[in-house]
Amino acid sequence: MSTQIKYAYRRHNTWIYRRTYPVQLHDILGSSLKRSLHTADAKVAAKRVAELNTTFEAIVLEAQAKLADGVQSGEPPQLAIAVPRYQRARLLGEQPVQEVAAVYLAEVSVRLRPGSYKSVRFALELLTSHVGARKLGDLNDTLGKEVLGYIARLSPNIRKYSQAQGASLAELATLSEEHEGISLTAQTQRRIWRQLQQFLDWCVRSGTLEANPWDGLAVKERPEVRSHRVLTDAQVSLLLNTNDRVLHSALLFCLLTGMRSGEACGLLAEDVSTKGNLGRFVQIRPNAVRLLKSKAAEREVPLHPVLETLLDTTLPTSGRLFPNLSVDKVVKRYAYLRRQHPELGSTVFHSTRKWFITQCERTGVPEHFTATLVGHQSARSENKLTYGLYSAGISDTQKREIIDQIRLPQDVLL
């Protein structure tokens, strides 16, 4: 005897739900609510029919309540009711890598900052260009070693070549060797591999994969951190005396406050306040323009007299202090200055922050005082307990004394 379920029938081994709306609601709802239950199991179908019956009744009640208003206004009523949709069950690991990667990217785009998301997206694009059509369950050690090998052959500038547009991971590796004799540093290779591992770990947590098949694989080459140099006084003089139309004011701000480029780009005139005889302070906090790197980065820094003069004479009195700057523009403009002045070699814009910290050290400022000014997590005691939990931090007067000790090189022309 065949199983029967009210408001459902079986067609081609799949249960279909169909229930007719009341005649008076046909004009606004149509004749019936019809959905595939995506199952051949009668017990599962019966449960889904019960869910849809509840939804059906809610739709009818709300449509009847709004019908009068809809007729009077001449527009059909909008019903804020979502109808459940069911998907056919899939075996673990059966989904294509490209399909799951798209879901993962949509999720991380919400919680990651643009720069971090761009990095993750690039790593996933490399993966899907090579194994996107394969099923998740097909990923194994052999494929993992293959992907690792191709990543190790990529050059830092491969994305800049026109032939690289739409190329697969294997093709990018070949192009890299043809156009450049250098490859990604071990540190960058590890970052890309870590992002792929995070994707696979997410697959395990989301139930689309039983275990991370590449968990035991890693970049063998040891990462070598290539720290950029601290600016010398001669280089600071060169930068400021160049009086670059794009970066001059931002350079002054970062040299005399130790700010990161992103923090400076997001400054608002409203962030500047006056504290009596202590002068003006700038509050570095998250806003609509940019977020901060960490909680410790939220801080208040006194403005050097040179910067107070800059505020009074050059910078806007409302809105963004640097309305035409972004981190991307800062990086590219500093690269332009480095090409114009070979003496700036091995330095980046972030070297201004290193110069500020160096001046603090050379004037005898305790390390935890400097950490407060530049927004580093303070290591003020060995166990980070006494100062870290019990102290309210250094005073505004102490901050002002530190800033007033900073001196630009004598040959700087302001």
* Residue pLDDT, tens place only, 331-361: 999 999 999 999 998 899 999 999 999 999 9
* Cα–Cα distance for residue pair 13/38, rounded to 1 Å: 9
Residue 122 lies in a domain: yes
322 and 271 in a common domain: yes
89: pLDDT confidence band, cut at 50, 70 and 90? low
Last residue of a domain, one of 73, 88, 111: 73
260 and 337 in a common domain: yes
Q: Are 261 and 242 contacting, i.e. CB atoms less than 8 angstroms apart?
A: no
Residue 253 lies in a domain: yes
Residue 411 lies in a domain: no
* Cα–Cα distance for residue pair 130/110, rounded to 1 Å: 26
Identify the weakest region by mean pLDDT among 125-139, 164-178, 211-225: 211-225
105 and 153 in a common domain: yes
391: pLDDT confidence band, cut at 50, 70 and 90? low
Q: Are strands 14-20 and 32-36 parallel, antiparallel or unpaired?
A: antiparallel
User: Is pLDDT at 385 greater than 80 in this prediction?
Assistant: no
130 and 29 in a common domain: no
User: Is pLDDT at 219 greater than 70 in this prediction?
Assistant: yes
Residue 309 lies in a domain: yes
388 and 316 in a common domain: yes
175 and 246 in a common domain: no
Mean pLDDT of the chain: 86
209: pLDDT confidence band, cut at 50, 70 and 90? confident
Residue 280 lies in a domain: yes
Residue 410 lies in a domain: no
61: pLDDT confidence band, cut at 50, 70 and 90? confident
How confident is the model at residue 259, as a pLDDT? 94
101 and 68 in a common domain: no
Q: What is the pTM assigned to this prediction? A: 0.61
The upper half-sphere exposure of residue 321, i.e. CA atoms within 13 Å in the direction of its Cβ, equals 30
Residue 60 lies in a domain: yes
CATH of the domain at 398: 1.10.443.10
Percentage of residues of the chain with pLDDT beyond 90: 52
Number of domains the chain is built from: 3
187 and 112 in a common domain: yes
335 and 273 in a common domain: yes
102 and 67 in a common domain: no
Return the amino acid letter for 221.
Answer: E
Task: Print the domain residue range for 281.
Answer: 233-405
285 and 246 in a common domain: yes
How confident is the model at residue 360, as a pLDDT? 94
Residue 227 lies in a domain: no
Last residue of a domain, one of 159, 191, 206: 206
User: Is pLDDT at 226 greater than 80 in this prediction?
Assistant: no
Identify the weakest region by mean pLDDT among 79-83, 260-264, 353-357: 79-83
20: pLDDT confidence band, cut at 50, 70 and 90? very high
Last residue of a domain, one of 171, 206, 241: 206
Secondary structure of 116-175 as H, E, C letters: HHHHHHHHHHHHHHHHCCCEHHHCCHHHHHHHHHHHHHCCCCHHHCHHHCCCCHHHHHHH
Percentage of residues of the chain with pLDDT beyond 70: 89
103 and 63 in a common domain: no
